[in-house]
Amino acid sequence: MMSSSSMVLMDRVPIIDLQDPNESNIVAQLDAALQQFGFFYVKNHGIPESLIERQFDISKQLFDLPLHIKESMPFDGTLDIGYLAAGGQALEKTLRTAATEPQQKQQQQQQQSTEKQEGEGQIDTKEQFMMTNNKLITASADADHSVLTVDPDNVFDGSQNYYLQPYIPDHPRVTSDYMSASYKLNLRLQHYLFEALQLDSERRRDLGQHPFLVLKQMKYAGPPSDPSKGQYGAGPHTDWGSFTILATDQQPGLQLLWNGGVDQWLDVPPIPNTLIINAGDQIATLTNHYYKSALHRVVTTSRTVRYSTAVFTYFGLSATFAPLPQFCGGDQTTDLAEDPSIGRTTREYFHYKLHQSVYGSDATRGSTDEEKKE
Ligand SMILES: O=C(O)CCC(=O)C(=O)O
Ligand SMILES: [Fe+2]
């Protein structure tokens, strides 16, 4: 972890070359990018371009299927799988108690009063399809260790997902290969994060075991966004977990809220042969918001269809979150009540956020239907 004063300020989200033979360079760049933006690009990331293209090809075929077929795979919030039609989620609804910095909170409130005329958390125009390694969610806490382990070569193994083989023969193979490659990239990013935070081996094990992993394919074909009416492809939100690995087609739209003197929405444009990485709430909580879980949104400007695919990674499902000791005390103390991921396990925090975004409820601690079912 470098001190803020030694950090070189950048005016745009940096690209980190993962082929750099000097690991400490990678760690230092990751540290600076997470402090300043909460976002960075990676190149030479190990996921073959051909696999990324095949994945987008599958995604296009999937969203082109007739609506009745897509709706035959309805969203299941317990497993976090299935299809959500346009309007099925409103990410902005998760903001009311988002785990963001006080400064960001104030910004959110200003943003909402100046940009929005009606309602809160309007629906997002994106369509989405999700697959997860949900066997970890359904397994009981004392399950056989092998049930809880993730096979990096077959991440979905043993989990319930909708596989579209009858309509898209390559669907199981391509989604599985893409997820496995993404998980391996996540393991590398997590290693660099743990190095930056100088975590001991016990803490690494606690955070790293039984990770929850979500593949979300998205299509934006709705009307152009209009922030003044609260209409977005994806409304302003923070991601909820550890790292998000995002692939987009060549359409712009993603923006993050950044303070480079004044708060502003900064474009995160597509850059060929790179992936976009951002830190979620769990990383912000661990570091007492020293690393940012940046507010971001998708503003579509034209009628052009846009595809993106995110792999959301979470730390261990049973790990409970609180700032690491080195981030507590001094002027870095966070009001624990302000950060809803504190004191919750990954499993609990995930369901809490999901309820806000999909079901619109202010799920209270430990009382969601999903949690009761577990
Ligand atoms: O489509 C994108 O570029 C980003 C979507 C996003 O931020 C999300 O689904 O969490
Ligand atoms: Fe996001």
**Cβ proximity of 88 and 138 under 8 Å:** no
Across 53-57, 151-155, 326-330, the highest mean pLDDT is recorded for 53-57
In this predicted structure, the answer to whether residue 360 has a pLDDT above a threshold of 70 is: no
Read out DSSP for 232-267?
BSEEEE---SSEEEEEE-S---EEEEEESSSEEEEE
Count how many residues are written for the chain. 374
Q: Which one has a higher pLDDT value, 88 or 343?
A: 343
Which residues line ligand 1 at a C-beta cut-off of 6 Å? 218, 234, 239, 246, 248, 254, 296, 298, 308, 310
Residue nearest to atom 1 of ligand 1 (CA): 308
pLDDT band with cut points at 50, 70 and 90 for residue 127:
very high
What SS3 class is residue 98?
coil
Give the ligand with the smallest distance to the CA of 310: 1
Give the ligand with the smallest distance to the CA of 214: 1
253 CA distance to ligand 1 middle (Å): 10
Looking at residue 366, its pLDDT comes to 34
Looking at residue 124, its pLDDT comes to 75
Looking at residue 103, its pLDDT comes to 46
Note the ipTM here: 0.99
* pLDDT mean over 213-222: 93
Decide: residue 170, CB within 10 A, 0-12 exposed, 13-18 middle, 19+ buried: middle
Tell me how far CA of residue 246 lies from CA of 100, 178, 326, 327, in angstroms. Answer: 21, 12, 30, 28
Looking at residue 353, its pLDDT comes to 84
In this predicted structure, the answer to whether residue 101 has a pLDDT above a threshold of 60 is: no
In this predicted structure, the answer to whether residue 336 has a pLDDT above a threshold of 90 is: no
pLDDT band with cut points at 50, 70 and 90 for residue 116:
very low
pLDDT band with cut points at 50, 70 and 90 for residue 352:
confident
Looking at residue 335, its pLDDT comes to 58
330 CA distance to ligand 1 middle (Å): 35
How far is Cα 256 from Cα 293, in angstroms, rounded to an integer? 10
Looking at residue 109, its pLDDT comes to 45
Looking at residue 6, its pLDDT comes to 55
In this predicted structure, the answer to whether residue 5 has a pLDDT above a threshold of 50 is: no
In this predicted structure, the answer to whether residue 4 has a pLDDT above a threshold of 60 is: no
How far is Cα 202 from Cα 350, in angstroms, rounded to an integer? 23
**Cβ proximity of 211 and 314 under 8 Å:** yes
Across 206-215, 325-334, 338-347, the highest mean pLDDT is recorded for 206-215
pLDDT band with cut points at 50, 70 and 90 for residue 93:
low
Q: Ligand 1, closest atom to CA 278? A: 7
Q: Ligand 1, closest atom to CA 216? A: 9
Q: Ligand 1, closest atom to CA 244? A: 10
| Across 45-49, 127-131, 146-150, least confident range | 146-150
241 CA distance to ligand 1 middle (Å): 13
Q: What number of other Cβ atoms are within 10 A of residue 83's Cβ?
A: 23
Strand 274-279's sheet: what is its strand order? 15-17, 39-43, 274-279, 243-248, 306-316, 211-220, 126-132, 82-84
Looking at residue 370, its pLDDT comes to 35
| Across 87-101, 116-130, 169-183, 213-227, least confident range | 87-101
Looking at residue 374, its pLDDT comes to 26
pTM of the model: 0.88
What are the two backbone dihedrals, phi and then psi, of residue 2, each rounded to the nearest 5 degrees? -95, 155
In this predicted structure, the answer to whether residue 41 has a pLDDT above a threshold of 50 is: yes
297 CA distance to ligand 1 middle (Å): 7
How far is Cα 170 from Cα 54, in angstroms, rounded to an integer? 9
Looking at residue 177, its pLDDT comes to 98
237 CA distance to ligand 2 middle (Å): 6
* pLDDT mean over 81-105: 63
| Across 117-126, 318-327, 347-356, least confident range | 117-126
